[in-house]
Amino acid sequence: MKKISILGSTGSIGTQTVDVVRANRDKFEVVAISANSSVDLLLEQIKEFRPKYVAVYNENSAKKLKENIPTDIKIEVLSGMEGLKTISSLDEIDILLTAVVGMIGLVPTLCAIQKGITIALANKETLVTAGQLVMKEAKKYNVDILPVDSEHSAIFQALNGESHKTIEKIILTASGGPFRGKVKKDLLKITKNEALKHPNWSMGRKISIDSSTLMNKGLEVIEAKWLFDVDYKDVDVVVHPQSIIHSMVQFNDSSIIAQLGCPDMRLPIQYALTYPDRILNDFERLDFSKMSTFTFEKPDLETFPCLKLAYDCLNQGGTYCAALNSANEILVNEFLEDKIGFYDIPYYIEKTLEAHNSISEPTLEDILEIDRWSREFVKKSIK
Ligand SMILES: NC(=O)C1=CN([C@@H]2O[C@H](COP(=O)(O)OP(=O)(O)OC[C@H]3O[C@@H](n4cnc5c(N)ncnc54)[C@H](OP(=O)(O)O)[C@@H]3O)[C@@H](O)[C@H]2O)C=CC1
Ligand SMILES: CC(=O)[C@@H](O)[C@H](O)COP(=O)(O)O
Ligand SMILES: [Mn+2]
């Protein structure tokens, strides 16, 4: 039995993790769950899985949950950042599946690493914000960071048994998002509902908007750089609208190894939870006889400047990626609240990056301060 704690059990990745656990009750035990404020869903998960701990970030929601837990259920209810840190670093857990959205996942993930707990990482913003620091700590505490993001799981699988020295480049596939093939003038007035319609994946709202701007791919280039310890110039992006090839690795003998599958996040979640084993499931199988086309294109950096901004931040180093991420988190939120337009996202990110004073070799405190500054800068700039 692997004992699991889930950060963000009520979201898109969180509920699919719960599905994987539900199908394999003999292999996994859910020890702790958490969310920001989704009390009703947490209550259902508590009744079904009987975890020992639940952490609710929002204090009022924590209070509400406590009042509604049936008296015959024994569970410790925690709240705030302390609650997230506690359920991430419990002595009794084997693996932390981090599926919160945003860099709020950073500190709890670091706490888990410092306790030697294996990380199944969906929360890409953690590595985007503090990749250097997180990977350094993981090395120090000899902790595996197992990717859940579909592209990174594909790369991880392609690298199985290979020597790091032989990697020539990583080829990240991108769906192109809902606006693939459009040009800037078509997108000036698009709405959040259009941006939320991802062609292949059903995901949370933040990552869906990131996919529509191609910022998701930018964040994934940064994530790949840190996870696989490669130069960012060796991470290429190719648009593959079918989302069947989840990513590829090219080796020094010109061979390319890819991982393919139907778009279903339960597969990379399951692989991270069972690694190094594979287990049987009933997920849909690919049928090549029914697939007529596999296509590939170059990403359009003029229409989707966010991807280029992410590469620029990697080139600059220091805290540029942290500033990019925090600005993007605020701007996506503003876009989702109809307060700004689609192209305001790259516009204000660029303004933030221009005004930002980068710190090389940042500490956690430096990164948290850059995060605070970037958020405030963006909010003031929008006003
Ligand atoms: N969805 C997908 O298919 C994929 C997602 N990812 C990455 O996985 C992460 C999660 O994405 P996704 O599942 O789509 O996001 P969702 O928005 O669907 O879910 C987010 C989860 O985080 C919780 N949460 C939000 N804020 C806090 C907080 N302050 N404290 C504690 N919990 C919080 C939410 O709780 P509540 O319900 O209370 O709001 C919810 O459980 C992101 O980093 C994303 O980029 C990567 C690859 C694919
Ligand atoms: C499922 C997953 O891993 C997402 O990150 C997905 O890749 C988003 O699709 P895009 O390729 O459109 O960003
Ligand atoms: Mn992805």
Give residue-wise pLDDT tens across range 288-319. Answer: 999 889 999 999 999 999 999 999 999 999 99
The pLDDT tens digits for 110-151 are 999 999 999 999 999 999 999 999 999 999 999 999 999 999
Residue 342 has pLDDT above 90, yes or no: yes
- Dist. CA 157 → ligand 3 center (Å): 15
Ligand 1 residue neighbourhood (C-beta within 6 Å):
8-14, 34-38, 57, 84, 99-101, 104, 122-125, 149, 201, 203-207, 265
Q: What is the pLDDT of residue 65?
A: 98
For residues 155 and 329, what is the distance between their CA atoms, to the nearest angstrom? 26
CA separation (Å) from 36 to 7, 84, 141, 170, 369?
10, 10, 29, 35, 22
Residue having the nearest C-alpha atom to atom 2 of ligand 2:
150
pLDDT digits (tens, 9 = 90+) for 40-89: 999 999 999 999 999 999 999 999 999 999 999 999 999 999 999 999 99
For residues 74, 97, 81 and 220, what is the CA-based torsion angle, rounded to 10 degrees? -160
Res. 360 pLDDT band, cuts 50 70 90: very high
Sign of CA dihedral 13, 14, 17, 23: negative
User: Taking 90 as the threshold, does the pLDDT of residue 340 lie above it?
Assistant: yes
Instruction: Indicate whether 138 and 234 sit together in one domain.
Output: no
The verdict on 128 and 9 lying in the same domain is yes
Residue 210 CA, closest ligand 2 atom number: 13
112 and 185 both lie in a single domain: no
Give a yes or no: residue 222 inside a domain: yes
- 151: annotated binding-site residue? yes
Same domain as 163, residue 50: no
Residue 13 domain boundaries: 2-148
Pair 55, 172 in one domain: no
Decide: 149 in ligand 2 pocket, CB within 6 A: yes
Average pLDDT, stretch 23-37? 98
- What pLDDT does residue 251 have? 98
* CATH at 62: 3.40.50.720
Average pLDDT over residues 252-264: 98
Calpha distance 29→21 (Å, rounded): 8
Distance CA 254, CA 310 (A): 27
Assess whether 293 and 206 both reside in one domain.
Answer: yes
Judgement on whether residues 182 and 224 belong to the same structural domain of the protein: yes
Section 201-218 average pLDDT: 98
Is residue 268 within 6 Å of ligand 2 at its C-beta? no
pLDDT of residue 157: 98
Tell me, yes or no, whether 164 and 70 share the same domain.
no
In this structure, the dihedral spanned by the alpha carbons of residues 311, 313, 317 and 319, taken in order and rounded to 10 degrees, is -150
CA angle 375, 121, 318 (to 5 degrees): 45
Q: Do residues 227 and 95 both lie within one domain?
A: no
Calculate the average pLDDT of the chain.
98
| pLDDT at position 292 | 85
Is residue 14 a part of any domain in this protein? yes
**C-alpha span between 135 and 142 (Å, rounded):** 10
Strand order in the sheet with 95-98: 76-79, 53-56, 28-35, 2-7, 95-98, 118-121, 145-147
Model's pTM, two decimal places? 0.98
The tally of domains found in the chain comes to 2
Pair 16, 110 in one domain: yes
Q: Please state, in angstroms and as integers, the Cα–Cα distance from residue 381 to each residue in 141, 330, 331, 336, 349, following that order.
A: 41, 12, 11, 17, 10
pLDDT at residue 379 above 90?
yes
Residue 78: inside a domain:
yes
Q: Are residues 115 and 22 in the same domain?
A: yes
Flag whether pLDDT at 364 surpasses 90: yes
What mean pLDDT is predicted for residues 184-195? Answer: 97
Query: Is residue 42 located within the same domain as residue 180?
Result: no
